[in-house]
Structure 1
Amino acid sequence: MDAFGPLNITAESLALEADTIRRKLEAGIGTLRAMDPVDFGVTPREEVWRDGKTVLYRFRVDRAPTAKVPLLVCYALVNRPYMVDLQADRSLVKGLLERGEDVYIIDWGYPDRSDRFLTLEDYIERFIGGAVDHLRKAHALDAINLLGICQGGVFSLCYAALHPGKVRNLVTMVTPVDFHTPDNMLSNWNREIDVDLLVDTLGNIPADMMNLTYLMLKPWRLFAQKYVGMVDILDDRKAMEDFLRMEKWIFDSPDQAGEAFREFDTQFFQGNGFVNGGVRIGDEEVHLGLVEMPILNIFAEQDHLVPPDASRALRDLAGTRDYTELSFKGGHIGIYVSGRAQKEVPQTIHEWLAKRSR
């Protein structure tokens, strides 16, 4: 039969496609019925320190770590930190542990109305500072290694600038430094927000509002295309478990403490404080020129949330003479969970730290 339209579609190809979708949907019923609830966080861990809702965990493995200096992971506030330990074959934490690192992570918990007035000083000095001091005491060390991810990387840079003697080596992953690069759509949006009106009206910033903002950066891809594509994997239990685990992480987001959100948006998204100056944590001003410890800066080439140039700016602003970059071919999430990331990122971090731990 003759084809019609520029896509060379025929009645036979349409019928075949419809039949394929029907079979996938039928198989999906059985797949979903057979699945257990998806879980996350595959590596055993134990609580070692707590301050309010913020908990410091140590990851456990069968053999003792070979690294003499612990590595503290500081994740962003806007998502749950188990993205770095999502599942057995997609775990940055597992990769680091297998190479002998002694890995800890800060879990910020879920802020509620009682946390409305937490500030950046609370998060950086009280919580990160408390965790760092606990590790320094527990390991009898003057300084520890710090790995900051996304917004957690911004926090880590602030902490390292304020307390350079307590951070031996600093690793930043997909961390924005120059918030005003032309391709930073999220920052462009934030600069138009009346953040005082927003926080004064809502108090804490709802997680659903934050999620909607991130999804709207790529509305076709994140609202439609991925769910249409889900049909292709309905008969594959493993693929469906991976898909639903990622969906669970995306929508398991905490609310944002109002005052900390106000300060972060004003000083970084709107004020571009690392570049222009003026970042204040409590009464102290932050200068990246005081970040003189070795830095490994890892960024993703296809990152739509933190464009590469936003991270590369650290090279010219930090005071260190020992600066290394890793440019990763992938996106903001792929840098944790893709197959390539499992091979490249933990090994790079481990080798970089090992050379500076002798």
Structure 2
Amino acid sequence: MVTETFNKKILPTLDFDKEIKRWSEVVNVMNKPKPGTFSTSKQAVWKKNKATLWHFPAVEKKYEIPIFVVFSIQNRPYILDMAPGSSVIESLVNSGYDVYLLDWGKQGYEDKDINIEDYIDDYIKKGVQRALRHSGAQEISLLGYCFGGVLAAMYTAIAEEPIKNLVVAAIPIDWSINIFPDKWMEG
């Protein structure tokens, strides 16, 4: 049902049926349950303040060396495990890896005095030690994502623990590479 308005310059012609359908969809989306997070089976194996070390056991363990994921401090790590069939964590555990993920928790003002050294020594190092003890493995592989990759690289450089592999993704380490074409940077 299209309704003419008294002044088309001020108010456009409205198709009420179309508008009702459109707003009904908005209401439906708003009332749907929130997407699940951490859909893969897990258990907490260590906690410190807001941080939690999650263990995602392999479906059928094929590899002795577990993967320790260091995620970014500010972002939420559940994006690696949002939904079945499109989950990084699920893919790893289905491939035969035990996965440990360091979830920093939601940072707030009270965390303002935690520095890089604290994150590395008090959280990553202790988390890796706990994962090694929990898994019984002799070595561990680190997977660092975003700023977590920077922290994982720093930790790997000084680690006394047996780090087998370091894999980093989406990290801001090499600032010499310019993302803009050189011509754009000429001034």
TM-score, normalising length from structure 1?
A: 0.43
**Higher strand fraction (1 or 2):** 2
1:32 is matched with which residue: 23, 29, 34?
29
The residue aligned with 1:65 is: 61
Q: 1:140 to 1:39 in 2, by over 3 A?
A: closer
The residue aligned with 1:89 is: 85
Q: Distance in 2 between matches of 1:40 and 1:21?
A: 34
Q: Distance in 2 between matches of 1:52 and 1:73?
A: 18
Is residue 43–residue 60 contact of structure 1 (8 Å, CA) maintained in 2?
Answer: no
Is residue 74–residue 106 contact of structure 2 (8 Å, CA) maintained in 1?
Answer: no
1:237-252 mapped onto 2 (5 Å cutoff): none
1:143 matched to 2:143? The reply is: no
Q: Which amino acid in structure 2 is aligned with residue 42 of structure 1?
A: S
Q: 1:140 to 1:183 in 2, by over 3 A?
A: same
Q: Distance in 1 between matches of 2:18 and 2:97?
A: 46
Is residue 89–residue 99 contact of structure 2 (8 Å, CA) maintained in 1?
Answer: yes
Q: Which amino acid in structure 2 is aligned with residue 153 of structure 1?
A: G
Q: Secondary structure of the residue that 1:69 maps to in structure 2?
A: coil
Q: Secondary structure of the residue that 2:144 maps to in structure 1?
A: strand
Q: Secondary structure of the residue that 2:47 maps to in structure 1?
A: strand
Q: CA deviation at 1:20?
A: 9.2
1:157 is matched with which residue: 153, 157, 161?
153
1:315-334 mapped onto 2 (5 Å cutoff): none
CA offset digits 1:274-307 (Å, max 9, x no partner): xxxxxxxxxxxxxxxxxxxxxxxxxxxxxxxxxx
Q: 1:33 to 1:68 in 2, by over 3 A?
A: same
Q: Provide structure 1 residue ranges, at least 5 long, that are not aligned to the other structure.
A: 1-14, 185-358
Q: CA deviation at 1:86?
A: 1.1
Q: Which has the larger radius of gyration?
A: 2
The residue aligned with 1:181 is: 177
Q: CA deviation at 1:19?
A: 8.0
1:169 is matched with which residue: 161, 165, 171?
165
Aligned length: 169
Q: Distance in 1 between matches of 2:61 and 2:17?
A: 50
Is residue 71–residue 103 contact of structure 1 (8 Å, CA) maintained in 2?
Answer: yes
The alignment-based identity, stated in percent, is 27
1:1-358 mapped onto 2 (5 Å cutoff): 22=19, 24-29=21-26, 31-32=28-29, 35-60=32-57, 63-163=59-159, 166-183=162-179
**Higher helix fraction (1 or 2):** 1
Q: CA deviation at 1:164?
A: 6.5
Q: CA deviation at 1:115?
A: 2.0
Q: Distance in 1 between matches of 2:99 and 2:126?
A: 16
Q: Secondary structure of the residue that 1:122 maps to in structure 2?
A: helix
Q: CA deviation at 1:60?
A: 3.9
Q: Distance in 2 between matches of 1:44 and 1:180?
A: 41
Q: Which amino acid in structure 1 is aligned with residue 43 of structure 2?
A: E
Q: Which amino acid in structure 1 is aligned with residue 106 of structure 2?
A: Y
Q: CA deviation at 1:166?
A: 2.2
The residue aligned with 1:329 is: none
Q: Secondary structure of the residue that 1:39 maps to in structure 2?
A: coil
